[in-house]
Amino acid sequence: MTHHAWAIAIPAHDEADRIGACLTAIAGQRDIEPEDGTVLVLANNCSDGTARIARGFAHVYVIEHWFDPGAGSAGAARRLAMAQARELVRDDGVLLTTDADTVPDPDWVATMLAAFSDNRVDLVAGRVSANWDEMQHHPAMALEIGALEWRYCNLLPLIEDAIDPLPHNPAPRHAQQCGANIGIRAGMFDAIGGVPDVAVGEDRALIDAVLSRDGGVRHATAPHVVASARVDGRAQGGMATALRDRIAGTYLCDELVIPAALLERRLVLRRQARCAFAKGEFAAWAGSHGVPASAEHVFGAAWAKFLARNSELAAQPLRPCDLPDEIARIEHLLATHDVRDVA
């Protein structure tokens, strides 16, 4: 079997209406050598023509798989799709993944590969936008919530850069962590054991696994895909679920969207922890905060355990009505914060 420089893994469940547009966009990628890469579609538990349509495209491997009842989650599908795609990639290659209902930009692959030209980068998280032709028909309330959440998330990189900047993740960047637009080096994929075995949130679990090994995660703005804004999505916990909850008025904000005071506290402590770890003083530093620290060889793992064991830093879900005030607080922090305070 030919081993390629890159491969794209696409999990697909009953996506006959949309996968053609996705694969057409991939087939039309520019500024790359098409023979350097390939595409793998995992048609899982499909009862429509998804597999047949995918087989109509050149350079596309199609695997039809049937998960047992209750086992066919979004996480399981991406885990298997990426594991199968890994078999098609060289050890020094790159695995990309997107969803079957996306339309990648014409330079998506090229910009993804360009982001990996920085040897400090092990995983690239690209941008995902909702299809406005579909989104504009949603109720105004849902659109307003989305706009506020988007505004909050655009502030996250700015406050992180003000308090605890990361050299492998420079500006301009974003804060999204979406499986519809992720790339990872094959070597790092192997090192973390593939996509974590979780039913939902596999994209963020994948990123967390890389960070726990001190891998470099780059939130690059150039790689971009447009995702469906439908409310009858295939994956529980995905964009469609969020849209349905917004429309129903039962929505709690994304887990990245937390109170400004908590966000600042986490970043201040992460900067302090990084300094302590570099000096070999992390255990003492953690103990001073009432958290026992186990011996870890890399900072990412030590920080992850500290975060998990410190109840004061646990996520506090925000309601949409909280967003205007929290956005104002972050903007105030950006205007007044002095990074010397956290050295």
pLDDT in the model for residue 251:
72
Residue by residue, pLDDT tens for the chain (343 residues) are 568 999 999 999 999 999 999 999 999 999 999 899 999 999 999 999 999 999 999 989 999 999 998 888 999 999 999 999 999 999 999 999 999 999 999 999 999 999 999 999 999 999 999 999 988 888 888 888 889 999 999 999 999 999 999 989 999 999 999 999 999 999 999 999 999 999 989 999 999 999 999 999 999 999 999 999 876 655 555 566 666 666 666 677 888 899 999 999 999 999 999 999 999 999 999 999 999 877 789 999 999 999 999 999 998 888 898 999 999 999 999 998 764 444 4
| Domain ranges, ordered by start, for the chain | 4-248, 260-342
C-alpha atoms less than 13 angstroms from C-alpha of 37 in its C-beta half-sphere:
23
- Residue 168 near residue 217 (C-beta atoms within 8 A): yes
CA distance 50 to 41: 9
The CA–CA distances, whole Å, from 223 to 194, 207, 268, 280, 281 equal: 22, 17, 30, 38, 39
Please give the structure tokens belonging to residue 92. Answer: 């020094």
pLDDT at 247: 64
Q: Which residues have CB under 8 Å from 48's CB, separation 6+?
A: 14, 15, 16
Residue 250 confidence (pLDDT): 66
Q: Which residues contact 265 (CB under 8 A, 6 or more apart)?
A: 312, 313
User: What's the pLDDT at 141?
Assistant: 85
- Which positions ≥6 away from 44 have C-beta within 8 Å? 11, 12, 13, 64, 65, 66, 67, 72, 77, 80
Q: What is the pTM of this model?
A: 0.92
The answer regarding whether domain 4-248 maps to CATH 3.40.50.300 reads no
pLDDT score recorded for residue 336: 87
